[in-house]
Every structure is written in C-alpha cells, then in structure tokens.
C-alpha cells in the first residue's frame, strides 16, 4: 500500500507529536509513533501514558494502515530532508519503505495490539458528564506563562504537581504552588457554566504552552481526563486525582501595608544579593522605611556582605523582613513586563503578596512568597 507526503508538511506533523514521546521509558513501545491511515487521512499519535498528542493530515490514498514506527529515527530522518516528496510503500511483512530524490530507507513497523489505549473526546459511548469550555489560545498561554514555574517538583504532595483549574462565577482561576510561593491568576474573559475544580499535570501544561497560538482552544473535562483541542492538534492528559490544597487559607486578607517599587531595579538588586546570600537558605533582608528601603545579604561563611538602597513608597512603620532571594527573583521575573509591583505586607512572619500595580485588563494576578526567619 502506497501514499506520498510533502516532507515539510510531514515534518510539521511529526514535530507536534514528538514532545509526547518519552526519552527514557521502561515501556519501549512508547518510543514509537502510532500511525493510522484511513479514508485519506493520516493520523499520528504519541503518548507517555500521562499525556497523549494526536494530529492528522490528508494524504491521497485509498488504503488503510495501522502500525508503530520508531519515533526518533523517523523524525530525525524526515527533518533532514529539504522540501521534497516522500513516497511511502508499506509491505505486509512489517517493512516500510520511504523513498525520496535522495535515497531509499527501510524501516520496520510493529503491530498496534500492545499499544496503550488512547482516550477520545467527546466520547459518545460514555454516560459520564463532560464539561466543555472555549478559551482563546493566547489567553491560555498568558496564564500558563505566569503560573507554570510555581508548580511543585516534589511528589510528596501529588496535587501540587499540577495546575489547579478552578471554575468560579467570575471566570476561570489558575493556581500553582510549591509551598514556598504561590501564583493565583483569574481570567475573567472565560464564559462557562461549570462548577468544578480540576488539577492538570505539569507536563500537560508545559507541552501545551509551546503549541498554543492565537486561535481558540476547546477544552473538555471528564472525571479523569482533560482534552485540549487546538485547530491542528489534540492533547489529552490524565487529571491528577488528589484534592488540591486549600490555597485560600494561605492568602492573607488583612495585609494592610504596601510597598511600591520598580520591578526591574529590584530584580537587578536581588540578582546581586543572591551572590552574597548563603547557598542553602538564599536569605536576604528587606529593611523598610517610608521612602526608601535597604536590601542586604551576608555570606556568613566568608564574611562577604552586600547592601543596596532603593526608592519606594511604603505606608507602614519601619520593619525588617527576611526573604528567599531565589524564590523572589523567580516571582519578579514572571511579573515581567510590569513596570511597578506592589508588595502587600502584614508583618515579618506572614505571607507576602506581590501584585502588578497596573496589571492586564480582565485578569486578577497575585503572587505570594513566604518570608524566612531573620536571626535577629
């Protein structure tokens, strides 16, 4: 059975699926693309059992084919071709020939019988309730870019290894936290009638983030899976089944003091403080006054110290606060390109809220860091 494809169109198809292929896996079948040719449509799947990706192109062929093909070898081969035609010739003895103007390449394909089942959405055969919502791709990407970094890498609390999607009357809220910092972003542009919370794994968010463009995304949730349908690709992910921690209790309501400061100046200063902080704790000190504040760090091992003074607006009484410079730096970086940020402060032992002074229309964005104890 034969068909042909343009090399660049085919490369584009494979490049979309390739991120789902695991590099190291105890299940070698996952290192293969799943190919399905039917009714003139070539569909390619890949999965690492957590997420799966699926995309199709039209090919002028009457034939039917299902088979597994080594992903890395095929993808690298196709990438190496300039714009040309690739002729596929599939034999019944599990061999597959690719021919181009350059040469001829023989690959072996495997049967699909042992490949894991790929969920499909919306599944008409199920009684399960499916929630569905449409979000603009760029808006989704904006939220992901702000919140992704704070997802926990540690599996002691599995729910925190994902991003919370919380449907609230005002829109859709995304929350991430690793216990040291938290990001909470509410997108008020999302219309829905859902009353649910879902936790989507980090890998789904980071892979999806690279695929999103300005087009709309249809999102389907059932009890255990989420499907993101983009114009040209579908990503299906397991949902994390654990209950997301009660983040609202962590966000203080009574932080009455505020510190307004230029984000870029503060970022630069903190980068220098990081050089003088102790490797383990990364502790630095904010000494707050009305119109300026001092940041300082001390490497107790070598006796090296650093001090800088920055202009600010602060409405509280002078106080000293200890902070982890590395965590704070990540928060400030992800508040880019905001010019001014506001720290909302209660006391040196309570969580500190950081928000953009201006912010983006129709979004509520809030980041939070926990202070560290000063030795004084």
Q: Does 306 bind a second copy (CB under 8 A)?
A: yes
Cα of first residue to Cα of last residue in the chain, in angstroms, is 78
Decide whether 72 or 210 has the Cβ nearer to a second copy: 72
Can you give 291-338 as a three-state secondary structure string? Answer: CEEEEEEEECCCCEEEEEEEECEECCCCEEEEEEHHHHHHHHHHCCCC
Could you say which DSSP state residue 375 is in?
-
Return the residue of 142, 257, 258, 276 that touches a second copy, per CB under 8 A: 276
**Among 169, 280, 303, 337, contact with a second copy (rule: CB under 8 A):** 303
Near a second copy by CB under 8 A: residue from 27, 84, 87, 108 = 108
Binders of a second copy among residues 319 to 358 (CB under 8 A) are none
ω into 53 cis (within 30 of 0): no
Residue 73 interacts with a second copy (CB under 8 A)? yes
- Residues 6 or more apart in contact with residue 173 via CB below 8 angstroms: 164, 165, 166, 167, 184, 185, 186, 187
- Shortest separation between residue 250's beta carbon and a second copy, angstroms: 33
Q: Is 268 in the site for a second copy (CB under 8 A)?
A: yes
Candidate residues 210, 271, 290, 373; the one interacting with a second copy per rule CB under 8 A:
271
Q: For residues 286 and 295, is the Cβ–Cβ distance under 8 A?
A: yes
- Please tell me what DSSP assigns to residue 230: -
Q: Is 308 in the site for a second copy (CB under 8 A)?
A: yes
27/108 with CB nearer a second copy: 108
Number of residues that bind a second copy (CB under 8 A): 27
- From the CB of 10, what's the least distance to a second copy, in Å? 15
C-alpha dist (Å) from residue 374 to 1, 296, 326: 72, 12, 16
Stretch that binds a second copy, among 76-84, 187-195, 240-248, 284-292 (CB under 8 A): 76-84
269 binds a second copy (CB under 8 A): yes
**What is d(CA 353, CA 247) in angstroms, rounded to the nearest whole number?**
13
Q: Which of 304, 315, 333, 349 binds a second copy (CB under 8 A)?
A: 304
The only residue of 2, 49, 87, 104 in contact with a second copy, by rule CB under 8 A:
104
Question: Which member of 9, 275, 339, 349 binds a second copy (CB under 8 A)?
Answer: 275
Phi, psi dihedrals of residue 97, rounded to the nearest 5°: -110, 135
Distance (Å) of CA 372 to CA 48, 78, 258, 314: 39, 52, 19, 20
Q: Does 264 bind a second copy (CB under 8 A)?
A: no
Q: How far is the CB of 95 from a second copy (least distance, A)?
A: 8
**Three-state SS at 114:** coil
State how far Cα 187 lies from the chain centre. Answer: 16
Residues 6+ apart with CB under 8 A from 211: 16, 230, 233, 235
We find the least distance from the C-beta atom of residue 103 to a second copy, in angstroms, to be 3
Residues in touch with a second copy (CB under 8 A): 70, 73, 76-77, 80, 95, 102-108, 268-269, 271-272, 275-276, 302-309
């Amino acid at each position: 059975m034969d068909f042909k494809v343009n090399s660049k169109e085919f490369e584009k198809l494979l490049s979309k699926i390739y991120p789902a292929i695991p590099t190291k896996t105890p299940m070698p079948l996952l290192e293969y693309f799943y190919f399905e040719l039917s009714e003139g449509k070539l569909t390619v799947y890949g999965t690492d059992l957590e997420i799966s990706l699926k995309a199709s192109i039209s090919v002028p062929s009457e034939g039917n084919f299902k088979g597994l093909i080594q992903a890395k070898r095929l993808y690298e081969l196709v990438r190496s071709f300039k714009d040309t035609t690739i002729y596929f010739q599939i034999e019944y003895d599990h061999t597959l020939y690719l021919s181009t103007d350059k040469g001829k390449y023989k690959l072996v394909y495997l049967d699909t019988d042992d490949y894991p089942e790929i969920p499909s959405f919306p599944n008409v055969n199920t009684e399960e309730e499916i929630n569905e919502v449409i979000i603009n791709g760029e808006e989704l990407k904006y939220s992901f870019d702000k919140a992704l970094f704070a997802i926990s890498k540690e599996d002691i609390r599995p729910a925190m290894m994902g991003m919370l999607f919380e449907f609230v009357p005002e829109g859709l809220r995304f929350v991430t936290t690793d216990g040291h910092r938290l990001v909470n972003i509410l997108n008020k542009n999302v219309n829905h009638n859902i009353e649910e919370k879902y936790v989507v794994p980090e890998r789904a968010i980071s892979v999806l983030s690279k695929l999103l463009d300005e087009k709309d995304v249809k999102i389907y949730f059932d009890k255990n899976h989420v499907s993101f349908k983009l114009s040209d690709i579908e990503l299906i992910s397991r949902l994390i089944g654990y209950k997301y921690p009660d983040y609202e209790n962590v966000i203080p309501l009574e932080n009455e003091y505020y510190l307004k400061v230029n984000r870029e100046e503060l970022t630069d200063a903190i980068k220098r403080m990081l050089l003088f902080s102790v490797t383990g704790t990364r502790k630095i000190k904010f000494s707050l006054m009305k119109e300026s504040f001092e940041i300082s760090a001390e490497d107790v091992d070598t006796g090296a110290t650093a001090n800088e003074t920055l202009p600010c607006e602060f409405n509280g009484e002078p106080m000293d606060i200890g902070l982890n410079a590395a965590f704070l730096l990540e928060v400030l970086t992800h508040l880019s390109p905001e010019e001014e940020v506001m720290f909302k402060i209660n006391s040196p032992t309570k969580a500190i809220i950081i928000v953009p002074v201006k912010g983006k229309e129709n979004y509520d964005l809030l980041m939070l860091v926990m202070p560290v104890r000063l030795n004084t």
